[in-house]
Structure 1
Amino acid sequence: MISFSSTQPTPAAQPPTASASASSAAGTSRLSHHHVNKLSSLSLPQLHQYSGRYRHGLRVRAIDAAQPYDCEAHLMNRFTQSTKLKIAIIGFGNFGQFLAKAFIRQGHTVYAHSRSNYLSVAQSMGAAFFSDLHDLCEQHPDVILICTSIISTESVLKSLPLQRLRRNTLFVDVLSVKEFPKNIFLQVRIGNEDSRLSRVENFLDIFKKEGCRMVEMTCAEHDKYAAGTQFITHTMGRILEKLQLDSTPINTKGYETLLDLVDNTASDSFDLYYGLFMYNKNAMEQLERLDLAFEALKKELFGHLHEILRKQLFGKAEEQGLRGPLLAKLPKNGAPFLPPGTPLENVGDGSN
């Protein structure tokens, strides 16, 4: 197609000038094939006379032509789009929201679902929130990420409308135990295509880009390590919580660390701690080891009692080889140690 645009009046002795341009000016007049053929058969004076019918002279402004195809940019765009995932987060609590921000920051599409209404929270970060699981699954996410509590995982998986998902949908969990969800996923897993491998790599790359160190291990190995680290940490934090520790004017750094531990563990729901115990077979072993360690510590502590105090408490019984009566209580703070032979009933009342 040839496009004509109005220009400044052309001098009578100068014919119209043809030039290639990428754009046409406003007021462009388009001629039919009949006019174009007629123009091509006119001489220059006749062409100038013919163009006098118009207010301004005519000049060729643009000729349509195939534009160069940027193959490299197109391939790069296709590669970028192929690595972007549609990730559905089931359980949009604090941790689910934390992960969603990282996914969106890297350009992935995030769908969210939770029992509570987090619509405004999801919209503020650029995610789509679905209160109905059927609506979410109809979006055909590439990844289903389970961020629920351990004890509710099985019921959540059974509530998913699996028939609305694609056969190669990838299921991922971020639970603190692995043997338990592995057995569940083997029952509901959809498809086993090779394309899942590349999708797994794309998903793991998200965490690598965030600076996470990826450690490959079996589910059994993970649960063994988790019982000796995470479960013990939560157990000690909840034991200290029962002591109702308070901040003091002379807090040491170690004591501040204990207070922080109490705050961190107490802020988590008891369901998390119960799930760590209930669904990790190594947790009971850690509790038994904790009991043994506490008893061993008490024996070591009592074994280092001062020799004088030992003689005051048990001296006569040891001399006679008999078991003497046990004391009801130790001497009060500041009370002097009593000399050997003092009646036992006077011990602990602060009198000589």
Structure 2
Amino acid sequence: MFLSAPYPLSLTPPPPPPPPPLLPSFSLSIRRSFLPIPSSTITKPLRPGSSRLPSIRALDAAQPFDYESHLRYQHLKSTSLKIAIIGFGNFGQFLAKAFSRQNHTLFAHSRSDYSRVARQFNVQFYSDIDDLCELHPDVVLISTSILSTESMLKSIPFQRLKRSTLFVDVLSVKEFPMNLFLKYLPEEFDILCTHPMFGPESGKDSWVGLPFVYDKVRIGDDEERLSRVERFLDFFAKEGCRMVEMSCIEHDKYAAGSQFVTHTMGRVLERFGVESSPINTKGYETLLNLVKNTKGDSFDLYYGLFMYNQNSLEQLERLDMAFESIKKDLFGRLLQVYRKQLFLNAKEEDRFLSTMKLLRGGDDVLEPSDQKSKRLKGS
């Protein structure tokens, strides 16, 4: 039994039904409805063998996310500080140049106009200190001369700053600015007294191994303020400084015996007039370098080291006594030689000593310290 065909055998089968129309994508429909885009902007498919990469033109397409750059940005944001440098002279510029290497945001104020120099270090300069304080810096760094520190502190509009602002000084004496900070700064402000024991001349090549002294005089106990102090100190540690935590009183005691004496000898040799020669010894080269390092500093700095460090006067007197002692040793030994050559007996020698005593206003004729000790032992 044969089944009947649904259509006559002599007829061809009907064509298949047309496929349903493709629905436009949601993004394309949105773009056509609201943001008509010229056909020229639609990316064409690549030809075989073409090396050109396709570009993304859809407004709602997912963009690539650079996670590494994001992490780097977040790290810099967490470690960087807004630092306002008050006193943008030689040393302030020296510090600003280094701060800029670690991506800190820098502001500056000074009595003189250093705006052109500030731009070289990527520093925003403000001639009006009120404008600077309204930027709410994290750190206010005092880099003025020792003599002008007190008058400068009195001129700062503290009410324009954040109440937790960190004040830092870099003066060469420490007890003096510490007392000024405690006297004039509101109690809510943090205080960090520091002394980079180097300058533009001695630290021009590297800070590695150079001492950086600091004293956390008054720091708030919340985590943000503690972190801010460590971030500021970490800057000098990253530059290779030898970090030394020491009280301001201890610093002045040691600095009078090292820094003040160094500056004093450098200025004495400068006025003496040491000059280079074709036969310089290493020791003499050291003296020439000492003069070079100290004469670049102003006399105000040297006077500040003397005036505002109570230990400096004692060191100056000890230097004077040491110089007189050396002179006495030299002249005393010279007298011993003259005695043997001029006098034949003890009576003539006693008469000579008496005469010299009268000429010296009643002081005994001094003899070298080593000869005196031998004579006392012999007696």
Could you say whether these structures have the same fold, taking a TM-score greater than 0.5 normalized by the shorter chain as the test?
Answer: yes
Aligned to 2:320: 291
Paired residue for 1:100, among 96, 99, 109?
A: 96
Residues 1-352 of structure 1: matches in 2 within 5 Å?
Answer: 16=22, 30-31=32-33, 64=60, 77-190=73-186, 191=188, 193=220, 194=222, 195-305=224-334, 308-313=337-342, 319=348, 321-323=350-352
Q: TM-score, structure 1 length as denominator?
A: 0.71
Structure 2 residue runs of 5 or longer lacking an equivalent are 1-17, 35-41, 43-56, 190-219, 357-379
Q: Distance in 1 between matches of 2:93 and 2:59?
A: 54
Whether the 8 Å contact between 1:19 and 1:62 is mirrored in structure 2 is: no
Aligned to 2:204: none
* Structure 1 stretch displaced more, 291-300 or 161-170: 291-300
The percent of aligned pairs where both chains have the same amino acid is: 65
CA deviation vs aligned residue, 1:295-317 (integer Å, no higher than 9, x gap) = 22223333444854332356567
Whether the 8 Å contact between 1:178 and 1:219 is mirrored in structure 2 is: yes
Q: Distance in 1 between matches of 2:63 and 2:280?
A: 74
Structure 1 residues 63, 141: CA separation in 2 closer, same or farther (over 3 Å shift)?
closer
Deviation at 1:319, TM superposition (A): 3.9
Deviation at 1:187, TM superposition (A): 1.7
Structure 1 residues 240, 68: CA separation in 2 closer, same or farther (over 3 Å shift)?
closer
Structure 1 residues 204, 13: CA separation in 2 closer, same or farther (over 3 Å shift)?
same
Tell me the C-alpha RMSD between the 2 structures: 3.3
Deviation at 1:213, TM superposition (A): 1.4
Structure 1 residues 213, 18: CA separation in 2 closer, same or farther (over 3 Å shift)?
farther
Letter in 1 for 2:321: L
Letter in 1 for 2:32: R
Structure 1 residues 313, 246: CA separation in 2 closer, same or farther (over 3 Å shift)?
farther
Aligned to 2:213: none
Q: Distance in 2 between matches of 1:321 and 1:312?
A: 15
Q: Distance in 1 between matches of 2:311 and 2:130?
A: 37
Q: Distance in 2 between matches of 1:146 and 1:240?
A: 31
CA deviation vs aligned residue, 1:209-261 (integer Å, no higher than 9, x gap) = 11111111111100011101100000001111221222233222222221221
Whether the 8 Å contact between 2:76 and 2:103 is mirrored in structure 1 is: no
Letter in 2 for 1:186: L
Aligned to 2:371: none
Structure 1 residue runs of 5 or longer lacking an equivalent are 1-11, 33-55, 327-352
CA deviation vs aligned residue, 1:51-77 (integer Å, no higher than 9, x gap) = xxxxx9xxxx97958889999976764
Deviation at 1:178, TM superposition (A): 0.6
CA deviation vs aligned residue, 1:141-195 (integer Å, no higher than 9, x gap) = 1111011111111111111111111101110000011100011101222315433
Deviation at 1:266, TM superposition (A): 1.7
CA deviation vs aligned residue, 1:2-36 (integer Å, no higher than 9, x gap) = xxxxxxxxxx979648789xx98xx995148xxxx
Whether the 8 Å contact between 1:144 and 1:171 is mirrored in structure 2 is: yes
Whether the 8 Å contact between 1:317 and 1:323 is mirrored in structure 2 is: no
Q: Distance in 1 between matches of 2:309 and 2:316?
A: 12
Q: Distance in 1 between matches of 2:139 and 2:352?
A: 70
Q: TM-score, structure 2 length as denominator?
A: 0.66
Letter in 1 for 2:226: L
Count of residues paired in the alignment: 284
